[in-house]
Amino acid sequence: MGTRMFVAVYPPEDVRAQLAEFLAVRPGLRWTDPEQMHLTLAFFASVPDRSLDRLADHLADAARSVPAFLCGLHGAGAFPHPDSAAVLWLGVEDGAAELSRLARKARAAGNRAGVVPDGKAFHPHLTLARPGHTNATRWIRVLETFSAPLWTVDEVHLVESTLQGHGHRPRHRTVMTAPLAP
């Protein structure tokens, strides 16, 4: 059995701190810890140890082929639908096309390394909470008021995700960071 991993972009610490402060005064949901706030580009349910170096090499090549770009969180939503929200998220407006390109390249890097990415369509977002299939319309309206400065995306992270058991948050550990083109 391999290791759960994903490729992600992390907003800078000041943006995550601003978002954590915004959420702290809004009790009622278990919000994502600021250190785990990220934009997932590709998810790999099982990366065999023998494939890890190839995945890291292909991911580094892919990252070098994409120039750094501006990104910003904007808008909010829920998966699968606001009436039955399993996930609440903030969206991306500035940088969405570039994130989509980076996601395609990260998934292709996985395929070249023999690691199959999940088949879900890419939708750039930052997961904030998992409310458990509830109507989230009110929360979406609140989250849509969040505003943060744009930041430069200049690297991607290959992250190991270890599940802790029911009700516990996964542990994330960056295995490798790959810079984008200047």
Rounded distance between C-alpha atoms, residue 39 and residue 45, angstroms = 17
- Tell me, yes or no, if 125 is annotated catalytic: yes
Residue 63, classed as helix, strand or coil, is: helix
* Amino acid at site 36: Q
Give 177's contacts (C-beta < 8 A, 6+ positions apart): 155, 156, 157, 158
Give 61's contacts (C-beta < 8 A, 6+ positions apart): 109
Which residue in 81, 123, 125, 157 is the catalytic one? 125
- Tell me, yes or no, if 168 is annotated catalytic: no
Contact assessment for residue 126 and residue 33, using Cβ atoms and an 8 Å cutoff: no
Which residue in 38, 58, 157, 172 is the catalytic one? 38
Number of residues written out for the chain = 182
Query: Which residues belong to the active site?
Result: 38, 125
